[in-house]
Structure 1
Amino acid sequence: MERTPAGPRRRVAVVEDGELVEMHFDTTARRALVGNIYKGKVETVLPGMGAAFVNVGEKKALFLSEHEINDPLLTAKRFEPRKGHAPIQEVLRSGDAVVIQVRREGVGKKNPQGTTKISLPGRYWVYLPTEDRVGISRRAGDRDTATRLRQVAYELKGQKEGLIGRTAAFGAPREDLERDFRHLQAMWKEVQKLAENASPPRLLHEPLDLTRTLIRDRFLE
């Protein structure tokens, strides 16, 4: 840990065979919210802005745009996803409970932004439990690698869930890819279980911090 003008900063070094190969920095001056998943309560719906504010128990409510409403919510309100426009006032009402994730920190007086399109990053995949799609990192080394990874993704995922292949997935054994996927699926099921019994506002999930992410990505088999 070191002191900087911006506040405390954590340094994490990766050493291999006695040599420094990577150095990572993580600012800890304030608690980050991005990636957190909550069961929130809709405070206000603003049709003119096409948005709502959702109380998640933090200092500021999350700003939720109508473009960040997931397909299951739209379907539940009898809207066909990706077919026309769904006014937010017809999808959400003040007092509604909603599972929401922080997608962007608040800056200055602006509220943090939320989304109901949940994403859970793992070592090899980003799991999308509410979106039916597959994506591959743009850093794919070649077309054959990307095609193979895309095929694995379609074989693993169900009809109403999605996967994005991360760079680390290129060349990874099939069993490792499946293990990571099953882990993320189980993580989402735990979030759902907590949400069923929780009264909003309630924190349901926090992502790994820098140190634990590095341990997962580099050292855990």
Structure 2
Amino acid sequence: MSNELFISSSQSGDRIALIQEKRLVEYQFEDHTRKFNVGDIYLGTVRKVVPGLNAAFIDVGYEKDAFLHYFDLGPKIKSLTKFTKNAITSASTPALLKKFELEAEIKKDGKVSQVLEKGNPILVQVVKEPISTKGPRLSCEISLAGRYLVLVPFSNVVSVSKKITDKEERQRLVRLISSIRPENFGVIIRTVASNKEVAELDKDLRNLVKTWEDGIAILKKARPRDLIIGELDRTSSILRDMLNESFDSINVDTKELYDDLRSYIKNIAPDKERLVKLHQGKTKMFESTGVEKQLKTLFGKSVSLSGGGYLIIEHTEALHVIDVNSGNKSNNETSQEETALHTNLEACREVARQLRLRDMGGIIVVDFIDMKNLDNRKVIYERMKLEMKDDRSKNVILPLSKFGLMQITRERVRPQTNLITMEVCPTCNGTGKISASIAITDQIEHKLDYIITKQNEKNITLVLHPYIYAYFTTGYISKRTKWFFKYFRWVKLRTDSSLGLTEFKFLDEGAQNIDMESEATTEDYRSEEYITSEK
């Protein structure tokens, strides 16, 4: 399976699109101003201990206190709090835990009031980003994820991913990591570590230990609410977790991001550095590669299936509901049961895609088309599990009920991605009242005339909506051809579906917006001073 990653950077953030077999399967927006990302480690302060919830609320700098349940403290919480206090009060506390004496583990069924007190400093890690009205959810089971390994301070356990099934390989990895891990640091061996050489694993381990040491150096000088260790940005974390032989290319549209990614990949997988490519076309990368079009069609309430069926997706506070409909599917099957089966199989693939694409978490209920045959229901259940296999978020899928409903729970760690696909009319701005929108072509021609004759601009590019592009380019002698005979200059036209129907812009040779030197308004262009008669 081929994978392509497209990253479009702007001042507000990065748009990240993962394409598999030419289909958009994952989309994320990384806000450069957002804090409290999953994996970030903060120095917090216990604000309130709530015995009724067996939890505590922690101040980490968010507008609402973060939530820390007793079950998320971890068995080594006493060792963590002891080390945190020592690091804050004593600058000579070593970051490595070689001589650190671990405390006894806490009981699994204990009370949070026996462990935490109001005002205590505590080192915490974000496991769920702020969602809706809730603050971040925290854990005290600190872990640092690398390419092949996960480092777990205050532990001496070496464990292996269950997805590595070969017994000899599991034993080899455990022996290898046990011989090189530092004392009082546990290690979780990730799936991608299978069949890797000791040099690669040792390098990854040393990088994680260095990250821990740098974080503890910050902790010694830190104040409450300070970020101690920051998780990688989403782009780097996707590459860290998914970069494999199936990746074809990683496309970016800014030189700065291009250099950063090449440097990062050179560090984690030098043989993949050549995959990073810089988009240099004048058309926007998402537009020229078709990603923008897929985004526009995949985030609506209704999502079409290739066979003629469609999904209706509704969101509520408690759960997400997906309804499968056969639509105008041609009835080539021999029975209604066969039609329902084929439509439901198509829906399985699209539902799994939509869950990843929108990052939908919590409870999802899918209402499949009714099928009477029990074997067909089992086929749908198995297909759904197969389609969800590549989802990086933890999920649980239940078989279809008697009513044809499938229940899915999917880990929710960040706010759901939701793009507004219904656009406000650019002409009336939602008021319902418009002026003559047909005048847009006249406005373009009047501005073009002014730019050429008054400002003497050359090498002009006109960016406009695809519908208006078709108007100017259709015909044996198109409008654009007529401009050439009139001005003896060829005007380049470029489509941009993100523009409204009445929006357009003129670009110069350096792809910069051409500013009109005159302050003439749209109404002025209709006056005789600016109108050019066509003979």
TM range (shorter): 0.7 to 0.9
Aligned counterpart in structure 2 of residue 117 of structure 1, from 129, 137, 141: 141
**Residues 95-138 of structure 1: CA deviation (Å, up to 9, x unaligned):** 11111000122333333210111111101101111333222112
Which is helix-richer, 1 or 2?
A: 2
Which stretch of structure 1 is more off in the superposition, 28-37 or 148-157?
Answer: 28-37
**Number of the residue aligned with 1:87:** 111
Structure showing greater radius of gyration is: 2
Q: CA deviation at 1:211?
A: 2.7
Q: CA deviation at 1:23?
A: 7.6
State the AA in 2 paired with 1:25.
Y
Distance, in Å, in 2 between the alignment partners of 1:28 and 1:82 is: 37
**Number of the residue aligned with 1:129:** 153
Distance, in Å, in 2 between the alignment partners of 1:37 and 1:216 is: 19
Contact (CA 8 Å) 2:144, 2:151: kept in 1 or not? yes
**Number of the residue aligned with 1:56:** 60
State the AA in 2 paired with 1:28.
E
Any residues of structure 2 matched to 1:1-221 within 5 Å, and which? Answer: 9-11=15-17, 25-28=27-30, 31=34, 33-75=37-79, 80-83=104-107, 85-213=109-237, 218=243, 219=265, 220-221=269-270
Distance, in Å, in 2 between the alignment partners of 1:102 and 1:161 is: 20
Distance, in Å, in 1 between the alignment partners of 2:105 and 2:119 is: 23
Which is strand-richer, 1 or 2?
A: 1
Q: CA deviation at 1:156?
A: 2.1
Contact (CA 8 Å) 2:76, 2:141: kept in 1 or not? no
| Cα distance, 1:55–1:168 mapped onto 2, change above 3 Å | same
Distance, in Å, in 1 between the alignment partners of 2:239 and 2:37 is: 21
Partner of 1:158, secondary structure, is coil
Contact (CA 8 Å) 1:70, 1:131: kept in 2 or not? no
Under a length normalisation based on structure 1, what TM-score does the superposition of the two structures give?
Answer: 0.81
Distance, in Å, in 1 between the alignment partners of 2:206 and 2:74 is: 22
Q: Which runs of 5+ in 1 are unaligned?
A: none
Q: CA deviation at 1:53?
A: 0.8
Distance, in Å, in 1 between the alignment partners of 2:17 and 2:117 is: 44
State the AA in 2 paired with 1:10.
I
Q: CA deviation at 1:175?
A: 1.0
Q: CA deviation at 1:70?
A: 4.0
State the AA in 1 paired with 2:15.
R
Distance, in Å, in 2 between the alignment partners of 1:204 and 1:197 is: 10
Distance, in Å, in 1 between the alignment partners of 2:234 and 2:103 is: 39
Percent identity of paired positions between Structure 1 and Structure 2: 29
Q: CA deviation at 1:24?
A: 5.6
State the AA in 1 paired with 2:29.
T
Contact (CA 8 Å) 2:37, 2:231: kept in 1 or not? no
Q: Which runs of 5+ in 2 are unaligned?
A: 1-6, 83-101, 244-264, 271-535
| Cα distance, 1:85–1:141 mapped onto 2, change above 3 Å | closer
Q: CA deviation at 1:173?
A: 0.9
Partner of 1:67, secondary structure, is helix
**Residues 148-198 of structure 1: CA deviation (Å, up to 9, x unaligned):** 112222212234221111122111110110111011011111111211211
| Cα distance, 1:25–1:84 mapped onto 2, change above 3 Å | closer
Query: Which gives a bigger RCO, structure 1 or 2 (Cα 8 Å, sep 6+)?
Result: 1
Partner of 2:135, secondary structure, is coil
Under a length normalisation based on structure 2, what TM-score does the superposition of the two structures give?
Answer: 0.36
Q: CA deviation at 1:33?
A: 1.7
Distance, in Å, in 1 between the alignment partners of 2:226 and 2:124 is: 10
Contact (CA 8 Å) 2:74, 2:141: kept in 1 or not? yes
| Cα distance, 1:143–1:158 mapped onto 2, change above 3 Å | same
| Cα distance, 1:48–1:79 mapped onto 2, change above 3 Å | farther
How many equivalent pairs are there? Answer: 213
Q: CA deviation at 1:141?
A: 4.5
| Cα distance, 1:211–1:195 mapped onto 2, change above 3 Å | same
Distance, in Å, in 2 between the alignment partners of 1:49 and 1:214 is: 35
Contact (CA 8 Å) 2:149, 2:205: kept in 1 or not? yes
Which stretch of structure 1 is more off in the superposition, 28-37 or 68-77?
Answer: 68-77
